[in-house]
Structure 1
Amino acid sequence: MSDGLNDARAMRVAEIMTDFRNLLHHLVQLRATPTAEEYYLDGYSLLRQCSSEAQAILQTPFSGSSGASSGDPEQERQQLKAIITDAAVRRFRCQRAYLLANAALRWVNARNSILRGQKPNASHLGAFQQADATLRTERLALTDAYVENTLRTQDAAQGKWLNEDPSLAQIQHIIMSRQ
């Protein structure tokens, strides 16, 4: 028996997918050009990791049912709920990668500010260590709970319908099951 909320579910799918698309758009535009000596430094490695994560998200097949709409409201309800869950997991993964990539970009900018066009030398060591420590601290602060809170807070502030969004525990379980 349908509950009359399929229009709200369909709207929620569109909202989540729009957020997902916007996050992915920002992720694919991230570019850094490290020298050969800098290539494996933490910030540059993290940027590559975030880019790889975005590609992996795009290549992950849809996990919900793929049957065509039969006009049955109950079947549509189940299908929309599956799509909401799949889209929410993808958006969560993109948000996490986006936040990490921004931390890495702050590290790159700090490094560039320290160097001011010079080659790295011993006089830069203390400032580099501080930038590295800041990046580590930011990475530790970007917990799954923090990422989920950023999304829920943004959605709630915009008055979006969140009744059937998966919980953080459900998202984590789905991500772990896909690995």
Structure 2
Amino acid sequence: MSDGLNDARAMRVAEIMSDFRNLQHYLVQLRATPTAEEYYLEGYSLLRQCTAEAQTILQTPFSSNSGGATGEPERERQQLRAIITDAAVRRFQCQRAYLRAHAGLRWMNSRNSILRGQKPNASHLSALQQIDAILRSELLATSDAYVENTLRAQDTAQGKWLNEDPSLAQIQQVLMSRS
């Protein structure tokens, strides 16, 4: 028997997918134009990686063994729960890529501010090493738990229904099964 929460589940799917779409829109708009000498620097490589991750997430097919909606409330409940999990995993992946890309953009802007259109030279070395270290530190701080906490805090602040959102452990399990 259905528990009467299918409307709440459907609303949750729409909320998660809206967040996912917004994150994808941001990631697709990333533009960095490094010179040939800068192309393989850590920050620029990171930005390309985040863009590629966003494309991979979009290309990952939805796989559900719950079948199509047939008007049966229990089957609809199962299908909606599967969609919530899939959408939450994709949103998690996009949020992680977004946070990493944002760190890369800060690195790029700091680098441009330090260089001010000049070629890197010995006078820039210390400052450039410092921003490289900051980037690495930010990336280390962007753990799965941190990513999940940013999403959960945002959803909680907006008063969203989170009863059937997957836990971080469930998200990690789905991600491991896809790799």
TM-score range, shorter chain: over 0.9
Q: Which residue of 2 is the match for residue 147 of structure 1? A: 147
Within a 5 Å distance, the mapping from 1:1-179 to structure 2 comes to 1-65=1-65, 67-179=67-179
The TM-score, its normalising length taken from structure 1, stands at 0.98
1:65 Cα deviation after fit: 3.7
Q: What is the rounded CA distance, in whole Å, between the counterparts of 1:48 and 1:8 in structure 2?
A: 37
CA deviation map 1:80-139 (0-9, x unaligned): 000000000000000000000000000000000000011111111000000000000000
**SS state of the match for residue 169, structure 1?**
helix
Distance 2:157 2:170 in 1: 23
The Cα shift of 1:69 comes to 1.7
TM-score by length of structure 2 reads: 0.98
Q: How many residues align?
A: 179
Runs of 4+ aligned residues of structure 1 deviating over 6 Å after TM superposition are none
Query: In the aligned structure 1, how far is the partner of 2:57 from the partner of 2:88?
Result: 12
CA distance in structure 2 between the aligned counterparts of 1:78 and 1:66, rounded to whole angstroms: 6
Relative to structure 1, the CA distance from residue 33 to residue 66 in structure 2 (aligned partners, 3 Å threshold; closer, same or farther) is farther
Please give the secondary structure, in 2, of the residue aligned with 1:165: coil
Take 1:65 and 1:111, find their aligned partners in 2: how far apart are those partners? Answer: 48
Report the Cα distance in structure 2 between the residues aligned to 1:67 and 1:174, rounded to whole angstroms. Answer: 19
Separation in 2 of the partners of 1:83 and 1:135?
34
- Unaligned ranges ≥5, structure 2: none
CA deviation digits over 1:23-69, x for unaligned, max 9? Answer: 00000001100000000000000000000100000000002247332
Structure 1 alignment gaps of length 5 or more: none
CA shift digits 1:7-26 (9 cap, x unpaired): 00000000000000000000
